[in-house]
Amino acid sequence: MSVLSDLSLLLGRAFESIGLDPAHGSVLVSNRPDLGQFQCNGALAAARQARRNPREIAASVVGRIGDDSRLADVSLAGPGFINLTVTDDVIARYVSAMADDPRLGVPAVSEPLDVIVDYAGPNVAKAMHVGHLRATIIGDSLKRLLRFVGHRVLGDAHFGDWGLQMGMLIVAAREHLPDLPHLDGDFEGPYTVPPPITLADLQEWYPAIAARVGADEDVATEARRATRDLQSGRAGYEALWEHFVRVSRESQERDFADLGVQFDLWYGESTVRCRLRPMVDDALAAGVALRSEGAVVVEVAEPDDKTEISPLILETSHGAFLYGTTDLATIAMRVDELDADLVLYVVDARQAYHFEQVFRAARRTGAAGGAGMEHIRFGTMNARDGTPFKTRAGGVLKLQDLIGMVTEAAIARLEESDLAAGYPEEERSTIARQVGIAALKFGDLINNRTSNYVFDLRRFTSLEGKTGPYLQMAAVRMGSILDKAVSRGLVPGPVLPPAAEVERRLMLRMLQLPEVTGRAVELRAPNHLAEYAYELASDFSRFYEACHILTESDSQRRASWLALVRANRCTLALLLDLLGIEVPERM
């Protein structure tokens, strides 16, 4: 158990011994370190429930724990705050246990869940752009975090590969390449030669045909007809669609790989296409769905709603299925086929209303079974003027261009600091990419995910301050100390009680890892990991400046400090990995 959980257990028993709920014994890291290392504020809440004086309650609790050998000091402050300081021997004992634990003191969950993390949301015919960045970075970090604590997790890109846009692209292909055998209704295949259509073609065609569909009803009718024929199984259209999907996915997988992101599943809207009609028919037969003005809808409003929420449309009066239909069927598929206990949708906050409709419909129709569903909403990445980040020309910046931008900035920073100057060119390029991606990811994840933030390339790529490159530098420094120790025949040894305040502060910071990890899981908030990683690296830097590790004359103290370096290196590497950030071998 962690020091916080053990202290909470101690105080919980004390509260219970005076007839109060042991939950009031919860212990936190102190926000007044001048008064104590830890604090318990439970006496105030207990007093409200028991209608007793909070300071009297706190005094009674202190009287029952004051002789515990782990405590160096216990005191009261204010109306009933309990301040705690543990002995240096206790600190060393907990740090030693953490250093010896492959999980660094973070317990695995007792009841693992089957979790699906739905994130990124790439689409056919569209290269990845800056608008996909936050969903990808946040979703990947949550997947890593949940997997680390012991859940069985699958990451699903949820590919946008079905619907009217496919019919629109088929119409565009007919206009640009009318002689394609895929478009000949009399040709029965096989379609052995792929159509000469690239992703660049699709990207050029799509906005043009989408604009025409919106402006010309004849073109819209043609697109709907092509969509219907595709969904009815027309062989040529299916082969053409498969090509659209293939060239789009190949490009997007390269973009994701550059970000260090991989998916377990590339299920798309098309994955559940065979479920749509039976699902709608079953909902009608069960009376859960009803017909309204020719459409099929599920009422999702609830009596205590403070604002109106419209029914979820499953089928339009034209017989078309919508995104909500596909999302509902996807929930059913994830429950039926993947045994999902929990599904997290990492999608921007503007889709909150849609997901509220879908989740309610999933519960009403039974599609969700007993699975939990959460919308992990997030804000936008903005330019300095507060508007969504775009190119200088006002267009949407492609993800590859953004990666190139941060990599170039990282190269400039390395040159400014004279880092990696004598390294082989290939290694310098690898380090620059790692530093650039770290700047990009940490610059995003350090923010509360629900907040908007400003993309500041100069600040994000700094080697000092609260940045990804600073944390990489810290991890590399720790590794360098350990390498030098090995070259001198020095090895880590037993952890001794701290000999200096900077050492004590670092050790206490290390012991916060289990609670920080638990909070990040509970809140689905990687920013807690990012903030803690920075605090840990900063405390280590102060320790490193004050304690001359490799030249310390006391061999036992030196071995203890090396053990701290090793444990900090492992902890920081873990945190960066959970944030999706690589650590270079050297810088």
pLDDT at 308: 93
Starting from the edge strand earliest in sequence, which strands make up the sheet with 27-29, in order? 27-29, 38-40, 81-86, 71-77
pLDDT at 481: 98
pLDDT at 490: 97
Report the C-alpha gap between 259 and 398 in whole angstroms.
Answer: 13
Task: Provide the percentage of residues in the chain whose pLDDT is more than 70.
Answer: 99
pLDDT at 319: 83
Report the C-alpha gap between 120 and 116 in whole angstroms.
Answer: 13
Which contacts of 99-107 are long-range, i.e. CB under 8 A and separated by 24 or more positions? 99/495, 99/563, 99/564, 99/566, 99/567, 99/570, 104/513, 104/567, 104/570, 104/571, 104/574, 105/2, 105/511, 105/513, 105/514, 106/148, 106/149, 106/513, 106/514, 106/517, 107/1, 107/514
Report the C-alpha gap between 583 and 568 in whole angstroms.
Answer: 14
Q: For residue 395, name the pLDDT band (cuts at 50, 70, 90).
A: low
* Cα 100 off chain centre by: 28
| Mean of per-residue pLDDT scores for the chain | 94
In sign, the C-alpha dihedral spanning 443, 448, 449, 455 is negative
User: In this structure, what token pair is assigned to residue 57?
Assistant: 């309650």
| Model pLDDT for residues 178-192, shown as the tens digit of each residue | 999 999 888 877 888
Mean per-residue pLDDT, 151-164: 94
Cβ burial 519-545 (10 Å sphere, 16+ → b, else e): ebbeebbbbbbbbbbbebbbbbbebbe
The identity of residue 47, as a single letter, is A
Report the C-alpha gap between 80 and 82 in whole angstroms.
Answer: 6
Cβ burial 459-472 (10 Å sphere, 16+ → b, else e): ebbbbeebbbbbbb
At residue 394, does pLDDT exceed 80?
no
Residue showing tokens 């100390």: 481
At residue 392, does pLDDT exceed 70?
no
| Model pLDDT for residues 505-552, shown as the tens digit of each residue | 999 999 999 999 999 999 999 999 999 999 999 999 999 999 999 999
From the number of C-beta atoms within 10 Å of its C-beta (0-12, 13-18, 19+), residue 329 rates as buried
Mean per-residue pLDDT, 406-410: 93
126 neighbors 216 (Cβ within 8 angstroms): no
* Cα 98 off chain centre by: 25
pLDDT at 393: 54
pLDDT at 318: 81
pLDDT at 107: 96
Cβ burial 38-48 (10 Å sphere, 16+ → b, else e): bbbbbbbbbbe
| Model pLDDT for residues 469-488, shown as the tens digit of each residue | 999 999 999 999 999 999 99
pLDDT at 228: 87
Give the SS3 label for residue 265.
strand
| Model pLDDT for residues 95-134, shown as the tens digit of each residue | 999 999 999 999 999 999 999 999 999 999 887 888 889 9
At residue 171, does pLDDT exceed 80?
yes
Mean per-residue pLDDT, 280-290: 96
Say what the pTM is.
0.93
| Model pLDDT for residues 217-249, shown as the tens digit of each residue | 999 999 999 998 998 889 999 999 999 999 999
Instruction: Spell out the residues 6+ positions from residue 96 whose beta carbon is closer than 8 angstroms to its own.
Output: 494, 495, 563
Mean per-residue pLDDT, 487-505: 97
Report the C-alpha gap between 116 and 335 in whole angstroms.
Answer: 10
At residue 501, does pLDDT exceed 70?
yes
Closest CA to 543 of 491, 481, 467, 485: 481
Task: Provide the percentage of residues in the chain whose pLDDT is more than 90.
Answer: 86
Residue showing tokens 């339009």: 316
| Model pLDDT for residues 415-454, shown as the tens digit of each residue | 998 888 889 999 999 999 999 999 999 999 999 999 999 9
Mean per-residue pLDDT, 371-384: 93
Report the C-alpha gap between 251 and 257 in whole angstroms.
Answer: 10
| Model pLDDT for residues 572-581, shown as the tens digit of each residue | 999 999 999 9
| Model pLDDT for residues 333-369, shown as the tens digit of each residue | 999 999 999 999 999 999 999 999 999 999 999 999 9
Dihedral in degrees, nearest 10, Cα atoms 88, 94, 95, 98:
180
DSSP type of residue 538: H
Closest CA to 129 of 442, 406, 444, 390: 390
Report the C-alpha gap between 297 and 274 in whole angstroms.
Answer: 19
Dihedral in degrees, nearest 10, Cα atoms 234, 239, 243, 246:
100
Report the C-alpha gap between 260 and 3 in whole angstroms.
Answer: 35
At residue 565, does pLDDT exceed 70?
yes
At residue 10, does pLDDT exceed 60?
yes
Closest CA to 49 of 82, 11, 15: 15
Ramachandran angles phi, psi of 487, nearest 5°: -65, -25
